[in-house]
Chains A and B, each alone.
Chain A
């Protein structure tokens, strides 16, 4: 599985958009980009995933660059409840490789 690089921490003002970057320069053509978040002491929560097109759901938007070497998770209107560690993961489709979580980005939403 490709490795990912994320900034260790970010701050965002409440009500503003939170843009969380992720670099995955060694991603392969059949690898998906997944985003999870983990609120303190809880299990990771699935947010969104994509292959090469931008995706949007009720929680967030995922923007994947054309070369697929990086992506950005966008929380359009961050709230205090969005304070969490956000993990960007890439993994091959159809394979048995273990899923590797990096260290993630600690997002702190500030009132």
Chain B
């Protein structure tokens, strides 16, 4: 079974631009979560989607948004990019984020490394 895939793997943008990142979860997984990882802040939770609905959200500004499609694929968008948005953006999928135990186990993709100049 294929793992979580993320595209693109690397991206360079300039301040003020917007960016869209894509995540395809493991087949059959319905929950998709997004994380931002920076050297200074570590791994921080952005948001989680399940059945096309955002179920949980971290402490990030409204410039960060996401959505999930009916096939469970997810996208996240960052508008008006700032230098501080340079980070590794990770997507993780799980069968279900509600049931506990195995079904909640998250499997991560390789990430998209975003550099904002």
Q: Do A and B come from one complex?
A: yes
Given the complex, which residues of B lie within 8 Å of A91, measured CB to CB?
Answer: 104
Q: Which stretch of A61-69, A70-78, A95-103 is in the interface?
A: A95-103
Contact assessment for B55 and A46 in the assembled complex, using a CB-CB cutoff below 8 Å: no
Q: Which stretch of B13-21, B72-80, B94-102 is in the interface?
A: B94-102
What is the CB-to-nearest-CB distance from A12 to chain B, in angstroms, rounded to a whole number? 22
Given the complex, which residues of B lie within 8 Å of A30, measured CB to CB?
Answer: 100
Contact assessment for A93 and B56 in the assembled complex, using a CB-CB cutoff below 8 Å: no
Given contacts A43-B4, A43-B111, contact A98 B100 (CB under 8 A): no
Count A-B pairs with CB separation below 8 Å: 63
Picked from B44, B55, B105, B107, the residue with its CB within 8 Å of the CB of A49 is B105
Chain B residues within 8 Å of chain A by Cβ, number = 30
Given contacts A87-B43, A96-B56, A101-B43, contact A44 B100 (CB under 8 A): no
Given the complex, which residues of A lie within 8 Å of B102, measured CB to CB?
Answer: 49
Q: In the bound complex, how far is the Cα of B103 from the Cα of A46, in angstroms?
A: 13
- Residue of chain A at shortest CB distance from B3: A43
Q: In the bound complex, how far is the Cα of B94 from the Cα of A49, in angstroms?
A: 14
Given the complex, which residues of A lie within 8 Å of B104, measured CB to CB?
Answer: 32, 91, 93
- Residue of chain A at shortest CB distance from B100: A93
Known A42-B111, A102-B42; 11 more pairs at CB < 8 Å = A41-B113, A43-B108, A43-B109, A44-B90, A51-B101, A87-B43, A94-B100, A96-B56, A98-B48, A99-B33, A99-B106
Q: Which residues of A contact B (CB under 8 A)?
A: 30, 32, 34, 36, 41-46, 49, 51, 87, 91, 93-104
Contact sample, A vs B, 28 pairs, CB 8 Å cutoff = A30-B100, A32-B101, A34-B105, A36-B108, A41-B111, A42-B110, A42-B111, A43-B92, A43-B109, A44-B108, A46-B107, A49-B101, A87-B43, A91-B104, A93-B100, A93-B104, A94-B98, A94-B99, A96-B55, A98-B57, A98-B58, A99-B33, A99-B45, A99-B106, A100-B45, A101-B44, A103-B42, A104-B42
List the 6 shortest-distance A-B pairs measured between CB atoms, nearest first: A93-B100, A43-B108, A101-B43, A98-B45, A44-B108, A96-B56
